[in-house]
Structure 1
């Protein structure tokens, strides 16, 4: 916070950091030994920025080539960024890093993130990050304040839902605490379970709830104290806050009533810098709504309350695609939240896999019962229906069986690819899952983006350790929705001035190509939609630019869906405020970094991630394993470009991508020269010891 006038006797303490934005300490907790210690944040920043850039460096330091997802030394890391705990718009986030149980066939080091007040309150309690290693012998919870840190007995919490856990701990420690916890799914090491804070802020992808459960850690309680986050240049931050907040104002949100009373339940529209999904022109899906006292029909008696937005609204995909049933939507979303399950995998990826297996005549029963699924989907061209077709009653039964690992639910708790192996369906997983993660912004099943956007998406999917689009909505969503011919969501209204998904003015595809050449520094970066011969040309520059922005957004941190501000229809060159995030960072930290300086720091972090994967066994073959998925057609058969991947051209694109990164094209490994250029000589020496360092 910006040094608010303190209540007498509660003056906030400043850390001894040279830079603003950081409070100076990283908490390290060993659950096996009970040892609690601290690291000096100054050893890592500002070069490691914060958030995931800091988290991956800490993970490299903790694990080795033998560490698996279930090893005691696998570190569960919660990291904030320098802007967390300040008024910087959308900066109220915390990032989670570790070797992720959801990954397949190898659980790659990965990250997730969540909004809410956990990150800011961790800073106000005096810590920039938490590193948790070891395993407790019995259930525990971690209590953190700026006065003490304690590993406390958590047996009384074990078995509780996420909501009951948070309510219980708030009664015990005060309403001002923030809690990150797991539900029964995490306790039972469901590989796609989440860590939840409040009622809709989840570290969803990666299965970090299972990692927390494996460590017998039920919850982390943070009590905000007297530590304040120093802002290096408050006046500059305020100036940038006003300017940027105006640019990212959610479309249509100011026109909505704060409170609506429905016949059977109440709705309150919410907005805050901590957790809201501040994007999109569809209030039901993209803007947060708090639903109060929604009657239960399928999951018990009484009512349920909570916030829903974005993926939290999409249980209709698993059922019948009827989005008008708002009460049912809230009920199913909150069921998954209570149990601690990843709704994207449940409502989308796993359901679509089941549908494919059902159509192949190879999945006729679930939980021992005959099933009948929707024959019109899933939505891979020429099919267009997204709904799986489960009945609500059976869906509730299945969700609970997975969370508690009951019967066949124990198999599906391992995640779709591992369940497919056990059920003799492994040859079908390529149709839905890549590296263990469900379809997302890749041109199939759901977000039907045009060529060459899905080609760039394929490059991101190939080279990263998880679904990359928790961090790169700024390309696949923000870019595509700002093209007049595609707006607002791929259907192509084609009228000048037509609004984007974000409610602002679009630009033509040709204008986007001209702007893209300047943004990415490559002539044909955005070309290829109407000139198919250019679809694979210069796309390595686009993928690289956005992967660095992804690191930036999750390290400063800021909202993934709002940043970067790529386009501005009012400017002659149509280029938006692409340096906005860097200005926020500079104002808070006190640096004078250029955009290029920030990109270099992000490049360094991305090489740390790749080194972690190489140490785990990553090769080019793992990158190319996503190619079969993209042989399924995209959704625009009447457009000039091919709707399926051109394998030789894509492999050539991979060559160019590796060379641009300074990696060996044969193996996909970072070279000694590149690692040393990034100041990662220690990592180079470790990879050399393992025989994994090309020169």
Structure 2
């Protein structure tokens, strides 16, 4: 007799048309070969959104998707992947935004594997999902309000157990740099906010009272205990403490395992809590390991720290909750918190501002500037393109671009001397002004592909300080500073910053280099897969293995959906394991949850397939020089790294100690070798008939063949 239950997947996809107000239910079954999350979302976009669609048009779609492991009891399986068309990069190709918080678990527990939003409402609405009860409700009473107030209002109205995912003024105003945040501070960027705003969709309110069917609950529980007690480290899976401690054989000051005696959650309810020296195997102290507030904002952040918080299913807790009264006085918010770049935005401006600011790192002022800016950005629903917004603002002020291009009255709206007089209200005002999207300065929130051309500053792309890594509009995300060619290649693969942490987790884990070499040999075939920082060697096959693995594991995690900030479990804090992790954990959990006997190689192949699908979508939607859509020359027209990576450190040559400068020919060799690992055309970097057959993508092959886009 056939088992009627769907294990892992709920088996249902929700489709909501905002134009017709029609709500329908579809089966997940046609998409299971693409796993979930990013895979399902990308396939729906590929199948349903015509090339050349305006991302802000009625024909554009948004797919919010979770994976078979989401909310199943698997640790760190609480993320959501959202696919749509980019608002801020060349050709508006498909991009993915990923968010933690509580949204993914709520969607899954409400009974859905994905939510497809299409059409466009004529008035502001929010989508209210409470299990099978799906309603499109009026949002006019929160339209125009920030994310903090909107979240509070919708929680009060619909219930405090609901997860509210909403946009702010930046999204409503259709600013290309706009994001959605759920649970108030967990963001999903890449222009998602503007796409939602174009549909008059203020947000989603989701409550799930169901459960996820798991084929072998005991196996999931046992694997979870094993992983948490023996395998997992801290944020980014750093597996040694940052200070010397009695229990630890090694320590590394760069580690995010920052707990130590005397470091406290100073503003914890009921009194300060000492993080102490949590040891491997101590399940109940794991949440103290990562003190992200002081890691990001410096030692003065300790006195403002309420606690470390986390996403659904996370034992690590890398999210910093702070209370900073001075932030509110500057126009931000007193209660602040984030887990990534919005937690320390001013850091990215300091090196560019140089003598134009008096704010120093490791000071009270540094914390206050960061939190005033960060809380403002979050409330506005303003996306920073992995800090590009902050670098661009600093550059345009410091180099005189703003003074040159802004109307005089607009430039004089701001007291720029506040950088020197230490008044962060300046940046609060600047960020609010940009979010309005009705002035000249707002073009900086359209991204460098717009403002650099409009303001005649294209040289910014080729400047080290910009950190722009691709001419199509996105910056570095653990790039050449992360194992050289490995980081360089994977920064080219997507249509936005890559968000890959698989390699940088290994780089910064804290283990001695010689021990990391041993692990590299076991995983990627040779010690030569890795180099010491800023002491790189020429490209080789083992580095290609490492780059391929970094891409594939990231895509896999975004499809399952797992947190790539901690997964994969390449290393362990356990000396008894000789610090080896367990890279079969994803497959073990997948098998236990779904009941489908699956190997690690099976999952890696699925990850490579999903990556190939996005490359196929890129080929189909990328324009040629004459403007015609459809271009399979990814090497020359997509994977084109910016010039500064080859020209930086003018007094040094590539492959010499002390520089992460790249060599042009070597980078091209690296692309060729990684293309080959995926089975893509080694000259063009696009999918081939053979690889599409190998991945079981006959429909995609037929589509590209019909369009003449197969090599």
| Alpha-carbon distance in structure 1 between the residues aligned to 2:258 and 2:170 | 37
Which residue is 1:69 aligned to?
55
| Alpha-carbon distance in structure 1 between the residues aligned to 2:150 and 2:693 | 47
Deviation at 1:573, TM superposition (A): 7.1
Shift in alpha-carbon separation, 1:661–1:237, aligned structure 2, 3 A: same
Deviation at 1:459, TM superposition (A): 0.4
Q: Deviations over 1:244-291 (max 9, x none)?
A: 123325335596656536999864213445186937xxxxxx552243
Which residue is 2:284 aligned to?
none
| Alpha-carbon distance in structure 1 between the residues aligned to 2:207 and 2:527 | 52
Query: Is residue 477 of structure 2 the alignment partner of residue 440 of structure 1?
Result: yes
Deviation at 1:522, TM superposition (A): 5.6
Shift in alpha-carbon separation, 1:631–1:34, aligned structure 2, 3 A: same
Q: Deviations over 1:625-659 (max 9, x none)?
A: 21414124379969537632211121122122222
Which residue is 1:473 aligned to?
501
On the 8 A contact 1:55/1:78 being kept in 2, the answer is yes
Shift in alpha-carbon separation, 1:373–1:313, aligned structure 2, 3 A: same
Which residue is 1:40 aligned to?
27
Shift in alpha-carbon separation, 1:71–1:278, aligned structure 2, 3 A: same
Unaligned runs of 5+ in 1: 1-14, 280-285, 375-386, 483-499, 501-505
Shift in alpha-carbon separation, 1:164–1:16, aligned structure 2, 3 A: farther
| Alpha-carbon distance in structure 2 between the residues aligned to 1:572 and 1:245 | 14
After superposition, where does 1:602-617 map in structure 2 within 5 Å?
A: 602-617=607-622
Q: Deviations over 1:346-389 (max 9, x none)?
A: xx323323555566665545642499999xxxxxxxxxxxx999
1:93 to 70, 79, 82: 79
Shift in alpha-carbon separation, 1:162–1:530, aligned structure 2, 3 A: closer
Which residue is 2:487 aligned to?
457
Query: Is residue 374 of structure 2 the alignment partner of residue 333 of structure 1?
Result: yes
| Alpha-carbon distance in structure 2 between the residues aligned to 1:664 and 1:50 | 27
Deviation at 1:690, TM superposition (A): 1.0
On the 8 A contact 2:177/2:385 being kept in 1, the answer is no
| Alpha-carbon distance in structure 1 between the residues aligned to 2:421 and 2:94 | 34
On the 8 A contact 1:357/1:425 being kept in 2, the answer is no
1:625 to 640, 656, 679: 640
Shift in alpha-carbon separation, 1:532–1:614, aligned structure 2, 3 A: same
Q: Deviations over 1:315-346 (max 9, x none)?
A: 3323635353334433321111111012455x
Query: Is residue 411 of structure 2 the alignment partner of residue 368 of structure 1?
Result: yes
Deviation at 1:402, TM superposition (A): 0.9
Q: Deviations over 1:29-67 (max 9, x none)?
A: 11122221111012222x222111121112112112232
| Alpha-carbon distance in structure 2 between the residues aligned to 1:58 and 1:459 | 27
Query: Is residue 547 of structure 2 the alignment partner of residue 543 of structure 1?
Result: yes
On the 8 A contact 1:17/1:23 being kept in 2, the answer is no
| Alpha-carbon distance in structure 2 between the residues aligned to 1:83 and 1:19 | 12
Shift in alpha-carbon separation, 1:412–1:207, aligned structure 2, 3 A: same
Shift in alpha-carbon separation, 1:330–1:529, aligned structure 2, 3 A: closer
| Alpha-carbon distance in structure 2 between the residues aligned to 1:181 and 1:275 | 22
Deviation at 1:457, TM superposition (A): 0.9
Q: Deviations over 1:146-182 (max 9, x none)?
A: 2421222222221011111111111221111111110
What secondary structure sits across from 1:550 in the alignment? helix
Deviation at 1:424, TM superposition (A): 1.4
TM-score, with length taken from structure 2: 0.80
| Alpha-carbon distance in structure 2 between the residues aligned to 1:454 and 1:371 | 41
What secondary structure sits across from 2:323 in the alignment? strand
Query: Is residue 322 of structure 2 the alignment partner of residue 322 of structure 1?
Result: no
Deviation at 1:461, TM superposition (A): 1.4
Which residue is 1:554 aligned to?
558
Query: Is residue 419 of structure 2 the alignment partner of residue 404 of structure 1?
Result: no
Deviation at 1:692, TM superposition (A): 0.2
Which residue is 2:660 aligned to?
643
Shift in alpha-carbon separation, 1:529–1:405, aligned structure 2, 3 A: closer
Range with greater deviation from structure 2 (522-531 or 192-201): 522-531
After superposition, where does 1:121-132 map in structure 2 within 5 Å?
A: 121-132=106-117
On the 8 A contact 2:75/2:315 being kept in 1, the answer is no
What secondary structure sits across from 1:296 in the alignment? helix
Deviation at 1:536, TM superposition (A): 4.9
Which residue is 1:169 aligned to?
154
1:513 to 514, 517, 523: 517
| Alpha-carbon distance in structure 1 between the residues aligned to 2:146 and 2:398 | 35
Range with greater deviation from structure 2 (257-266 or 353-362): 257-266
Equivalent pairs, count: 621
2:568 to 564, 568, 571: 564
Query: Is residue 388 of structure 2 the alignment partner of residue 349 of structure 1?
Result: yes
| Alpha-carbon distance in structure 2 between the residues aligned to 1:413 and 1:215 | 20
| Alpha-carbon distance in structure 2 between the residues aligned to 1:530 and 1:218 | 45
Which residue is 1:30 aligned to?
17
What secondary structure sits across from 1:191 in the alignment? coil
| Alpha-carbon distance in structure 2 between the residues aligned to 1:606 and 1:309 | 27
Query: Is residue 686 of structure 2 the alignment partner of residue 669 of structure 1?
Result: yes
Query: Is residue 212 of structure 2 the alignment partner of residue 229 of structure 1?
Result: yes
Query: Is residue 244 of structure 2 the alignment partner of residue 203 of structure 1?
Result: no
On the 8 A contact 1:512/1:574 being kept in 2, the answer is no
Which residue is 2:197 aligned to?
213
| Alpha-carbon distance in structure 2 between the residues aligned to 1:361 and 1:292 | 32
Higher helix share: 2
On the 8 A contact 1:89/1:273 being kept in 2, the answer is no
Q: Deviations over 1:657-676 (max 9, x none)?
A: 22222212332210011111
| Alpha-carbon distance in structure 1 between the residues aligned to 2:413 and 2:484 | 37
Unaligned runs of 5+ in 2: 235-256, 273-299, 351-358, 623-630
Deviation at 1:608, TM superposition (A): 0.7
Shift in alpha-carbon separation, 1:334–1:273, aligned structure 2, 3 A: closer
| Alpha-carbon distance in structure 2 between the residues aligned to 1:643 and 1:94 | 34
| Alpha-carbon distance in structure 1 between the residues aligned to 2:158 and 2:420 | 43
Q: Deviations over 1:510-558 (max 9, x none)?
A: 4433432331246732258798553455422211111110011112222
1:274 to 302, 309, 312: 312
TM-score, with length taken from structure 1: 0.82
| Alpha-carbon distance in structure 2 between the residues aligned to 1:33 and 1:662 | 43
Shift in alpha-carbon separation, 1:653–1:96, aligned structure 2, 3 A: same
